[in-house]
Structure formats: structure tokens, C-alpha cells
Structure 1
Amino acid sequence: MFYSCPLCLSPNQNFAFKGEFTHCLVCDLIFRAPKASFTGLGEKKHYLLHQNGPQHDGYVSFLKRAIDPIETHLLPNLQALDFGCGPGPAINYILQSYQISCDNYDPFFFPEGIKEKSYDFIFATECVEHFFHPNQEFEKILGLLKVGGYLSMMTEIHPGLNKINDWYYIKDATHVSLYSEKTFMWIALKYKLKLEYTDQKRVVVFRKTG
């Protein structure tokens, strides 16, 4: 049972419920408790089933959606971090052609991957929906991003509590934190970010302003 929102920490009198899903009426996050079978080693085994990695052309093309909106800012010798890169990092493979060094971090597969104290770019592609504690994770991510730097995220925007049960995205039981555009605006206000780009479906790019 949640006593506060795992993102904005609002108390549970601000919650609405539908089945296993809880909706925070303050930040618009929809969340659910992680299933016991998908925590710890079970979660890691689940991610190993994903066919992700630079050897998969379709996956590389998919990830380029997070890079295209900021391509003009990708200058040689800048530093990037792929946060939640999974077992087969691909962002660093894509950024090689821009002469950008990219560190890989993942709590299961690259736990020691954060090498710099601050980064010009942080990519969080198809990982923020897996955050059990999004408040803590965003604090960590944005603490590593330089002022003026870019955070590029990919996660499918939720359709609202009334439509959640018909949404394909929830078939993955490790998708526990689900975001809307309102949620991203809350994050922008909280962390002094400027929304630079959104495709209003999956890709969101912020620039850190303070």
C-alpha cells in the first residue's frame, strides 16, 4: 500500500484507484506496486529476455527518436550518460559517430557505470517506467546533469486512469510508473527544467536551466 506518491510525495488522500493502479491527482503519475516475481533477480532475468542492443537494427532506429531532437547540440568531446541502459547498451554505439563519449549505467548490468560527476547529455530511454521510486531516481539523474545540459527520455505517455486497463503498455508487469504530459510538466517545475521537445506520445526532452 502506498501512503504517498512515489514521485511527488503527495499523501494518499490525493489518490484515485482502479484495480491494481493508483493515480496521483497532483502530478498525474499512475503507479502500481511491483510484483514479487519481478523484483531482484526476477527483474534482471526479465530484462535479459529483451532483444535490445546495437546488433538489432530496429532497436537502434527506435532509440534514434531520443537523439534526433537534440542532434544539433551533439558536439564532439561532450559527455553523455545512458541511464538504465540495460544489458545491451546502444546509445553509446549511436553517439560514436558524433564523437561523444557515453557512459553506461544500469543497476543490474552496469552498476559502476557512472564515471563523471556531471554530464552534458543524459538519456533515459524505456527505463523510467521501471522506477519503483521515481522521486529518488530523478533526483539522481538531474543531480548528474549539468546546467544547460539535456535530458532525453522515452516512455509511452499514459492514456488516463479510465483507459489504463486497455493499454498494451501495462502488459509488462515491470512497468510500474506511468507518466503523462502533466507529469512531465510537474517534473520540469520541480527541477528547473525547460521542456524543449515532445512528440506527445513517447519522447520528451528537457534542458536544465538552474
Structure 2
Amino acid sequence: MNCPLCDYSNSPSLYHQDNRRRYHQCLRCQLVFVDPLYLPASNVEKAEYELHQNSSHDEGYIRFLDKLLSPLSLYFEPNMDVLDFGCGPGPVLGELMAKKGMNVKLYDPFFAHYPENLDQGYDIITCTEAIEHFHTPSIEWQCWLNILKPKGILGIMTKRVIDKQRFASWHYKNDPTHVSFFSEATFRYLALRDGFSVEFPTNDVVLMKKL
């Protein structure tokens, strides 16, 4: 079984097992991932995502997005090209960034399937509460590497793995569509391998600048 992020071929270690699923950890990049036997079908995923009622009128959701938007906006310059990747059925973050003068485009495999938006370069790529859904995150990561401009910024929001003990009681892992779990070590591995600086402004946010 190869790691779905870094393709490391050595057998991953068993990280956790419960009555729902089995989880492994890559010994190289430290990604924790669901055993392929438990990956959800695309129709199950879409049905789950359609339950998300995200709205630009929801002040609580806007405060949630501000955990990423606030530190990311320090890098904004007028008319930057921004891609909101995995925007979901309600692309609120894209709307907020457009209001700040960004040229925003959207991509989501279920709700904004515009492959032409993956054919240009971007100054900033955001991915808010989506990376944990990627079955083979190496695919999306390589896509981002291909379209992120030099000095570009990746802004990612996802809850991070801390340790095995906390993972065992972590509600975040129980969502059947959450299948890839990143830690600080995973992001630092990617940064070192692919030439990024990395910072962690909050517990759920990572900003990676292409060097």
C-alpha cells in the first residue's frame, strides 16, 4: 500500500482502528489516511456535501472563514488571481475575497467543475475544509504545484492531527468523507520537498509560500 500523498512504498503503520474504519500513517510524510477499503463512493460524498448550508449571510460561518482570510489577506495585492479550490456548494470565501479586490475563480469536482480554471496560473490558491476529503491528495497537490505562480501562496484550512491518543477520540475523523488527515509534520515535509516556506497562524490554518 503506497501513501496517497507522497507515494512512499514502505508499508504504512496502523495508526488507529475502530468499529467504523481503519487508519494508517505514512512513515515518511506522516499523513494519516483511511484504508482504501473504506473510501466513500462519489454519490455518498456529494450527498454529504449537499447538507452543508454555507451562506454569505451566516455570520458564524464568516467568522469561521476569517481564521484563514485574516492572515491570508496580509498578502493581498490589487487584482491578484485567486483560485478557491474545493469551494463546495456555497463559495462564500470566494465572494469575500472578490470583495477585497481579488480576481477569483472557483473549482470543485462536484459543484464548480470548471477544468478550464485549472489551466492558468494563480497568485493564491485557497482550500478550506476540503483537503481532508481528497482520496489521493498527491493529485490535487501536483495540480497546485503546476498552477501556483512563483512566490504564490497556498492557504489551507483543515484540522490537524496531534497524536494517536487524541485521534482516537477525535470527532473529526468520524465524518465518512474525511479520509486524509494532515499534521504540522506533513505540511513541513511538503514545504521542504517542494520549496515552500510554511507558517501556522492558527490551529486549523497553514500558509505556504512558494520560494
**Fold similarity call, TM over 0.5:** yes
Match of 1:168 in 2: 171
Unaligned 5+ runs, structure 1:
none
Percent identical: 35
Q: What is the TM-score when the length of structure 1 is the normalising length?
A: 0.91
Root mean square deviation of aligned Cα: 1.8
- Write the distance in 1 (CA, Å) between the matches of 2:96 and 2:80: 14
Unaligned 5+ runs, structure 2:
none
One-letter code of the match for 1:61? R
TM superposition outliers: structure 1 runs of 4+ over 4 Å: 34-37
Match of 1:25 in 2: 27
* CA shift for structure 1 position 142: 2.0
Match of 1:156 in 2: 159
1:78 aligns with 2:80: yes
- Write the distance in 2 (CA, Å) between the matches of 1:110 and 1:32: 26
Given the alignment, which residue of 86, 109, 112 partners 1:110? Answer: 112
- Write the distance in 1 (CA, Å) between the matches of 2:133 and 2:28: 20
Match of 2:99 in 1: 97
- Write the distance in 2 (CA, Å) between the matches of 1:133 and 1:66: 24
Match of 2:71 in 1: 69
- Write the distance in 1 (CA, Å) between the matches of 2:67 and 2:38: 33
Match of 2:181 in 1: 178
- Write the distance in 2 (CA, Å) between the matches of 1:139 and 1:176: 18
Match of 1:202 in 2: 204
1:136 aligns with 2:139: yes
Q: 1:149 to 1:202 in 2, by over 3 A?
A: same
- 2:32–2:182 CA contact under 8 A, matched in 1: yes
Q: What is the TM-score when the length of structure 2 is the normalising length?
A: 0.91
- Write the distance in 2 (CA, Å) between the matches of 1:35 and 1:4: 14
Q: 1:70 to 1:200 in 2, by over 3 A?
A: closer
* CA shift for structure 1 position 199: 3.2
How big is each residue's C-alpha offset from its partner over 1:142-188, in whole Å with a ceiling of 9 and x where there is no partner? Answer: 21110111110000011223432201111211110001100000111
Q: Mean Cα displacement is larger for which, 175-184 or 107-116?
A: 107-116
1:15 aligns with 2:13: yes
Match of 1:189 in 2: 192
* CA shift for structure 1 position 37: 8.3
- 1:47–1:86 CA contact under 8 A, matched in 2: yes
Q: 1:157 to 1:101 in 2, by over 3 A?
A: same
